[in-house]
Chains A and B, each alone.
Chain A
Amino acid sequence: MGSSGSHATVIPDGDSIRRETGFSQASLLRLYHRFRALDRNKKGYLSRMDLQQIGALAVNPLGDRIIDSFFPDGSQRVDFSGFVRVLAHFRPVDEEEAGIRDPKQPEPLNSRMNKLRFAFQLYDLDRDGKISRHEMLQVLRLMVGVQVTEEQLESIADRTVQEADEDGDGAVSFLEFTKSLEKMNIEQKMSIRILK
């Protein structure tokens, strides 16, 4: 908000965050401003309430789940580095960067797998590593219009699970989840251009 914005020193741990997330200086600064703007009482962290006040998120069917993903393990606050870390999933994949990546280093947050994992954990509410039929049904209920009856929803959920379910346990594991999407260009579909 009131920051001068031109110098990066305002960002605490700016360099280490940048290294971890791969954001450019400019994007990081931009995100930092946004973070401070969201942080209403200048607490230095964001609470659920702060995020819930974003108007459009309230109407987003997955809004709550996405807010939750900012608060892992039931914590009630997220600091800037946590905030950026979540958003780093949506950084576009840089081809050159992917080419020269040191294999010893951990996979960058914006890799295909991590993007998928982020999506997966939005489904997998109970964190058991599987999207059960029930969880699928819940998501479908959020996504599909009200005109579809519960019964039809259930059959859609059944079908969806069955389609992806390969080992026959009636649930979609992360592996099966990635497999069902292997034809899709995730790098493209789960990236936002401005988050360079």
Chain B
Amino acid sequence: MLRAAVPLLGLPLAGAGITEEPTQEPGSPGEPPPGLALFRWQWHEVEAPYLVALWILVASLAKIVFHLSRKVTSLVPESCLLILLGLVLGGVVLAVAKKAEYQLEPGTFFLFLLPPIVLDSGYFMPSRLFFDNLGAILTYAVVGTLWNAFTTGAALWGLQQAGLVAPRVQAGLLDFLLFGSLISAVDPVAVLAVFEEVHVNETLFIIVFGESLLNDAVTVVLYKVCNSFVEMGSAKVQATDYLKGVASLFVVSLGGAAVGLVFAFLLALTTRFTKRVRIIEPLLVFLLAYAAYLTAEMASLSAILAVTMCGLGCKKYVEANISHKSRTTVKYTMKTLASCAETVIFMLLGISAVDSSKWAWDSGLVLGTLFFILFFRALGVVLQTWVLNQFRLVPLDKIDQVVMSYGGLRGAVAFALVILLDRNKVPAKDYFVATTIVVVFFTVIVQGLTIKPLVKWLKVKRSEHHKPTLNQELHEHTFDHILAAVEDVVGHHGYHYWRDRWEQFDKKYLSQLLMRRSAYRIRDQIWDVYYRLNIRDAISFVGGHVLSSTGLSLPSMPSRNSVAETSVTNLLRESGSGACLDLQVIDTVRSGRDREDAVMHHLLCGGLYKPRRRYKASCSRHFISEDAQERQDKEIFQQNMKRRLESFKSTKHNICFTKNKPRPRKAGRKKKDGVANADATNGKPPRDLGFQDTAAVTLTVESEEEESDSSETEKEDDEGIIFVARATSEVLQEGKVSGSFEVCPSPRIIPPSPTCAEKELPWKSGQGDQAVYVSSETTKIVPVDMQTGWNQSISSLESLASPPCTQAPTLTRLPPRPLGAEEPRAALDLLSDPRPGFAFPPSLAKAGRSRSESSADIPQQQELQPLMGHKDQTHLSPGTANSHWCIQFNKGGRL
């Protein structure tokens, strides 16, 4: 449906361009406007850019439409779809205008469409991988292309001699060699378009892709040499011309590379001084790279090689010099331009094929060419790989070879080159054009379509994306140095030796020259990985925060947004206010909405922010305000947090190293057990016990489940910094601990002694309402690597606090108290009147308290006991309401 709509969509646009032309042409010059015209139609003045823009627009719209259906794009490569679309559009244009209006002009292609693609691929080329496989890439690019060109050309000539090609194809050996040279080169655009979607392993990709980029020099040379030979006529070609041809191979390739490197140097040097004019940094990158391309083109060197080398060479320094924003801009602009150019190329390729006036068909030639390029490609790959494997550490196996042979796609470069041929000199040009079109279409469509299933079927090693870890980065560097050192010891000047040399040279001279002083650091890869990890942490922290806050507000959304309250919120309010009246002597009765807000705020601050800040001794929860979030973000960017965490951990370890080192989860379980036991022994009123039991049971199950979840995920992800959905009882615990601690001393809360609230903590945090307040999203913010830190600190916290806690039986008497009621109050107090006085680090305070409380507070508790029992009995409904509330929230959170 949608695909069918594309041509329709494109038709009026494309058609408009064509149909308006003839109508306006006679219009405007025919009758000169006598005076001031109110309305003037000036199509001619805008025609060219307008058409360009329209074409790009059509291509982009087509792209959007293709990607509406994921099924189609997962099966069919985009390049195929675009070519087909081009065919359809070309057909429509042909039908409307009666002549082929548009086609892929070689000039446009080489000057405007190709450079962005090559720059993009050169700039984002994984340089290490490229140089690691440089030998193989160069072999395939140079030897392989020469082999393909000569064998294909010669074989076609043989075919003609055998009489299988119709005699109307007037071509000699040189013509066929010329054709062979242009048809033999693997095309970077086509390869990139197809292989980007296939995701084969990096080595395979870089070899095929690197070959397609570097063979340009060979193709250009071969094409030019053959072309000039053809133009001279084979009789006049002398021996020196052959020598010149060989020499020009070196001139063109090395010259192109040199031009690229010179411009890369200039570019890097220029960006060193853009400190005050950051805004033009991206422009400089594009300008100088394009200048490199044009310069190479001007000197008839390999322009593709020039831009590739420019991108490859400058990237390291430019990336270090330009600002972060410029980096992003460069990246996106480059990708946009490249993808745009690629789209237009394929579409125009399709359109050009329609123009039947340009081509002439010969089945023998077409079929022969198709067979020969496939056959000789495969043969060449096998032969070269056999030789290469003698020298390669990791040999390329058979499957790799199959993919490499099959991945030799031809594309727009071949087409543009064949269009450039001079019909007067090459009489068989039309036949060559037709053959090239068929070959290009065949490789892009048939091979492009089948390569994915083939890769799947052969079980080619796919590329695995794993996030960089500091360890890997560091160890990789270590390995490099080790290998370089071993090569030194062995006395062999191999690859590692030279790489090491280069790195030292780069460090000593090049980087000094080309990089800003301030940029050195970014250059360092270990630092870079560290930096990026930190940024990712920060982003996901902030992102997770937003996520969790929405997740949190989800259950209470109805109460906030709708005037007509749902039953849940009604229930909530009633229970909340009722409990409030009852539990504590009222100071003010606040609305449920306020309370909810307070709860949310409290939780957001406590649960999400605290874990990072809590190690600051002076940190007070009362000070948490809006701008605290900003500060916190900055903090992460300054990478302080990690260190703080670590230092805290180490000090904590020093304190309680021998005491206990259980994993926090065990501690949690132990505590829970303790609670359960205490419950059983406590001799509560049966009713209470019942209620409590149910509550406890459900919640325990919950947390158990989550625990197992989290441990699983942890196992899975232990090698990376991955943010897992994890029920961090620790996080919550932390929030709760400090939260209620600060609540306690509040003078307004009269009857429940501070210690009551405190003792309630383990219960609360252990199983209580953790699921109530914290949706699973909240927990996403805890990076795995930090969890260990947290775990440890929690465990040390608990190790300090738990012995008295578990011993004190009183602590378990509190649960029957409706918790939901006190919690909001606590939060509210917190909000309404910040008290900076209580700024102990929770751990210390808690430790102190827990030591004292067992002796002093038990009587108090016991005094309170009747009161509480009374409360529970009279206000059972709020209690149950609370439990309902919990469950409701659970559901909400789970959803």
Contacts and interface: CB of A to CB of B under 8 A. Distances in A.
B613 interface: no
B524 A147 contact: yes
Contacts of A193: 391-393, 494
A192 B490 contact: yes
B471 A60 contact: no
A140 B649 contact: no
Given A60-B500, A156-B526, A156-B530, A195 B488 contact: no
A77 B530 CA distance: 40
B48 interface: no
Interface string A162-196: 11111010101000000111111000111111110
B486 A162 contact: no
A158 B649 CA distance: 11
B478 interface: yes
A71 B297 CA distance: 58
A108 interface: no
Interface in A145-161: 145-148, 151-152, 154-156, 158-160
B474 A190 contact: no
A31 B490 contact: yes
B491 interface: yes
Contacts of B527: 144-145, 148, 152, 156
A162 B524 CA distance: 21
A159 B470 contact: yes
Contact of A56 (B497, B520, B526, B785): B497
B597 interface: no
B789 interface: yes
A57 interface: yes
B491 A37 contact: yes
B874 interface: no
A90 B486 contact: yes
A32 B233 CA distance: 60
Contacts of A54: 488-489
B863 interface: no
A119 B482 contact: yes
A170 B646 CA distance: 9
Interface stretch (A2-10, A11-19, A61-69, A99-107): A61-69
Interface string B765-793: 00000000000000000000110110110
A29 interface: no
A184 B788 contact: no
A87 to B, nearest CB: 6
Interface string B476-513: 11110111111111111010110011001001000000
Main secondary structure of the interface of B (DSSP, over half): helix
B132 to A, nearest CB: 10
Contact of A143 (B477, B484, B663): B477
B472 A192 contact: no
B788 A63 contact: no
A139 interface: yes
Contacts of A118: 482
Nearest to A33: B491
A56 B500 contact: yes
Interface residues of B, number: 62
A92 interface: yes
B85 to A, nearest CB: 40
Contacts of B523: 145
Interface in A58-100: 59-63, 66, 87, 90, 92
Contacts of B492: 192, 194
B521 interface: yes
B323 interface: no
A194 B788 CA distance: 43
A155 B491 contact: no
Contacts of A34: 489-491
A109 interface: no
Contact of B789 (A140, A162, A183, A195): A162
B639 interface: yes
Contacts of B105: none
Nearest to B643: A155
Given A140-B474, A179-B718, A158 B646 contact: yes
Contact of A66 (B486, B533, B718): B486
Nearest to B640: A155
Given A139-B474, A155-B643, A183-B464, A90 B488 contact: no
B475 interface: yes
A66 B483 CA distance: 10
A119 B475 contact: yes
Interface in B753-775: none
A66 B485 contact: yes
A61 B481 contact: yes
Interface centre among B482, B523, B533 (most CB of A within 10 A): B482
B488 A140 contact: no
Given A34-B491, A60-B488, A119-B482, A189 B719 contact: no
A166 B487 CA distance: 34
Contacts of A181: 471-472, 475
A180 B471 contact: yes
A67 B679 CA distance: 65
Contacts of A60: 481, 484-485, 488, 500
A49 to B, nearest CB: 14
A15 to B, nearest CB: 21
A142 B699 CA distance: 51
Nearest to B663: A168
A195 B470 contact: no
Contacts of B639: 152, 155
A62 B478 contact: yes
Contact of B485 (A63, A143, A147, A179): A63
Contact of B788 (A122, A162, A180, A183): A162
B653 A119 contact: no
A180 B469 CA distance: 8
Contacts of B504: 59
A151 to B, nearest CB: 8
A33 B470 CA distance: 39
Given A87-B490, A147-B521, A156-B530, A190 B719 contact: no
Contacts of B789: 162
Contacts of A59: 504
B488 A194 contact: no
B361 to A, nearest CB: 50
A165 B464 CA distance: 24
Contacts of A168: 661, 663, 788, 791-792
Given A57-B485, A168-B792, A143 B474 contact: yes
Contact of A62 (B482, B530, B785): B482
Contacts of B646: 155, 158, 162
B718 A166 contact: yes
Interface centre among A59, A159, A193 (most CB of B within 10 A): A159
Interface string A117-143: 011001100000000000000011001
Nearest to B520: A147
A56 to B, nearest CB: 4
Contact of A159 (B472, B484, B496, B642): B642
A56 B491 CA distance: 10
A34 B391 CA distance: 21
A136 to B, nearest CB: 8
A38 B488 CA distance: 11
Given A155-B643, A193-B494, A188 B393 contact: yes
Closest A-B pairs by Cβ, 4 of them: A147-B520, A180-B471, A158-B646, A160-B470
Given A56-B484, A170-B650, 7 more contacts: A56-B485, A66-B485, A143-B474, A145-B520, A145-B527, A181-B472, A193-B393
13 contacts: A34-B490, A38-B491, A60-B500, A62-B482, A87-B490, A119-B479, A144-B527, A147-B521, A152-B527, A158-B643, A159-B785, A160-B470, A188-B393
Interface of B: 391-394, 464, 466, 469-472, 474-479, 481-492, 494, 496-497, 500-501, 504, 507, 520-521, 523-524, 526-527, 530, 533, 639-640, 642-643, 646, 649-650, 653, 661, 663, 718-719, 721, 785-786, 788-789, 791-792
